[in-house]
């Protein structure tokens, strides 16, 4: 199991990203192959040294849209005549956009894909000398007892056996890494959903599976060897254990960010209620609007953070997500602190 939060802070009080790999420093250069970047070929401090927020989600399109959305929200201006560029275009794997202090990156589907990306993005933060970055996953999920369109902020990630850690075979042995998300970040996000709630937002455990079909108890895959009754009993059992939603990346996301001493949060919108069905039936335009919901919440957090640091105007008129007043933001902070 990995070290506790306290241990990480004791070891890295300046907020540096924890690499936990002595080999990297000894290498002439580090090629971040799946990002089409390298410590020898690119000035990573110059390119990424000002990053504060790393936002990830499954598809390249979503993350391009989020990049444009956050650009409008934080009032970031591009040089005249330029557009946002996909920095990792030539990897043909992931897409990455940078908007001032925000990176918006697609992670593909499932634990292996997000895991590879996290190794390289964590190393990117290290090479770029970024301090105290905050990572968000902006995703989609199946809700349990939740209507489609409900946003779930994860309190904790568990696997399909309800175990709160990522298990990975390394050199023939199983290594376990605690899948811890930042509690305060989750509370702050929840508080920010409340003032002008446009959609339902809840918190709960997130179950992360290795498969969309059998792994999530679906009756509609190419194979199914259980009955609907057995599926529903399982859903009820995990629901009783506090699971609010099911997706496919949170375990790795929580485990690897925690191992690196990075604060992170997972915010997903439910596309359906798994107690009612398995197929994603909502029309395309509805799904598009739902997918924007986690983006709105995370954008609100980023906007408020930058406003508190004096890096954004607090007039509340730049973009469609209202910025909290300084008084309200202080209250939200105080509310959070009383829990610590």
Ligand X SMILES: O=c1cc[nH]c(=O)[nH]1
> Measured in whole angstroms, how far is the alpha carbon of residue 229 from the centre of its chain?
33
Neighbours of 4 (CB within 10 A): 12
Please report where in the chains the tokens 């997500």 appear, as a residue: 321
Annotated binding residue at 216? yes
* Among 73, 140, 150, 154, contact with ligand LQZ7MJT6 (rule: CB under 6 A): 140
Annotated binding residue at 140? yes
Show Cβ contacts of residue 120 under 8 Å, excluding neighbours closer than 6 positions.
32, 33, 34, 35
Nearer to ligand X, 121 or 272 (CB): 272
Nearer to ligand X, 120 or 247 (CB): 247
Q: 307 and 178 in contact (C-beta within 8 Å)? A: no
* Among 271, 298, 306, 312, contact with ligand X (rule: CB under 6 A): 271
- Determine phi and psi for 213, rounding to 5 degrees: -95, -90
CB 267 → ligand LQZ7MJT6: shortest distance, Å?
10
Does 145 help bind ligand X (rule: CB under 6 A)? no
Annotated binding residue at 218? yes
Nearer to ligand X, 118 or 246 (CB): 246
Residue 34, token pair as written in the block: 């799946």
Does 234 help bind ligand X (rule: CB under 6 A)? no
227-256 burial, b at 16+ Cβ within 10 Å, e below that, comes to eeeebeeebeebbeeebbbbbbbbbbbbbb
CB 58 → ligand X: shortest distance, Å?
8
Neighbours of 318 (CB within 10 A): 16
* Among 141, 144, 151, 157, contact with ligand X (rule: CB under 6 A): 141
Q: Which stretch binds ligand X (CB under 6 A): 140-148, 157-165, 193-201, 227-235?
A: 140-148
Does 261 help bind ligand LQZ7MJT6 (rule: CB under 6 A)? no
Does 57 help bind ligand LQZ7MJT6 (rule: CB under 6 A)? yes
Does 145 help bind ligand LQZ7MJT6 (rule: CB under 6 A)? no
Nearer to ligand X, 87 or 152 (CB): 152
For the chain, give the number of residues: 340
Does 210 help bind ligand LQZ7MJT6 (rule: CB under 6 A)? no
Checking phi first, is residue 116 left (phi over 0); if not, alpha (psi -120 to 50) or beta? alpha
Does 142 help bind ligand X (rule: CB under 6 A)? yes
Does 60 help bind ligand LQZ7MJT6 (rule: CB under 6 A)? no
C-alpha closest to that of 325 among 334, 335, 339, 315: 315
Q: Which stretch binds ligand X (CB under 6 A): 173-181, 242-250, 258-266, 291-299?
A: 242-250
Q: 135 and 262 in contact (C-beta within 8 Å)? A: yes
* Among 122, 192, 248, 302, contact with ligand X (rule: CB under 6 A): 248
Q: 179 and 250 in contact (C-beta within 8 Å)? A: yes
DSSP 25-43: HHSS--EEGGGTEETTTS-
CB 270 → ligand LQZ7MJT6: shortest distance, Å?
11
Does 260 help bind ligand X (rule: CB under 6 A)? no
246 binds, among ligand X, ligand LQZ7MJT6, none (CB under 5 to 8 A by kind): ligand X
Does 159 help bind ligand X (rule: CB under 6 A)? no
Could you give the angle at which helices 284-308 and 60-73 cross, rounded to 10 degrees?
40
Please report where in the chains the tokens 């930042």 appear, as a residue: 182
Residues that bind ligand X (CB under 6 A): 140-142, 212, 216, 246-248, 271
Q: State the residues that interact with ligand LQZ7MJT6 by CB under 6 A.
A: 57-58, 109-110, 139-140, 212, 247-249
Binding residue ranges for substrate: 216, 218
């Amino acid at each position: 199991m990995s070290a506790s939060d306290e241990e990480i802070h004791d070891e890295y009080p300046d907020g540096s990203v924890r690499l936990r790999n002595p080999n990297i420093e000894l290498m002439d250069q580090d090629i971040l192959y799946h990002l089409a970047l390298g410590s020898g070929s690119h000035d990573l401090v110059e390119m990424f040294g000002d990053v504060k927020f790393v936002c990830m989600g499954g598809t390249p399109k979503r993350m391009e849209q989020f990049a444009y959305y956050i650009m409008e929200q934080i009032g970031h201006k591009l040089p005249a005549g330029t557009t946002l560029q996909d920095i990792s275009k030539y990897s043909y794997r992931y897409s990455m956009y940078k908007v001032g202090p925000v990176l918006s990156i697609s992670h593909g589907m499932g634990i292996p894909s997000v895991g590879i990306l996290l190794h390289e993005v964590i190393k990117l933060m290290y090479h770029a000398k970024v301090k105290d970055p905050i990572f968000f996953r902006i995703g989609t999920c199946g809700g349990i007892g939740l209507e489609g369109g409900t946003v779930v902020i994860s309190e904790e990630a568990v696997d399909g056996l309800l175990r709160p850690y990522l298990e990975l075979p390394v050199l023939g042995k199983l290594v376990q890494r605690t899948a811890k998300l930042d509690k305060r970040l989750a509370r702050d996000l929840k508080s920010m959903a409340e003032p002008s709630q446009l959609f339902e937002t809840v918190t709960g455990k997130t179950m992360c599976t290795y498969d969309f079909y059998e792994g999530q108890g679906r009756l509609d895959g190419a194979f199914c060897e259980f009955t609907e009754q057995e599926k529903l009993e399982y859903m009820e059992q995990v629901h009783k254990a506090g699971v609010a939603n099911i997706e496919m990346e949170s375990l790795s996301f929580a485990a690897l960010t925690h191992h690196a001493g990075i604060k992170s949060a997972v915010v997903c919108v439910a596309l359906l209620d798994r107690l009612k069905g398995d197929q994603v039936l909502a029309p395309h335009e509805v799904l598009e609007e739902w997918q924007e919901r986690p983006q709105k919440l995370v954008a609100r957090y980023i906007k408020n953070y930058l406003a508190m640091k004096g890096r954004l105007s607090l007039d509340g008129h730049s973009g469609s997500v209202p910025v909290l007043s300084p008084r309200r933001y202080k209250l939200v902070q105080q509310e959070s602190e009383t829990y610590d």
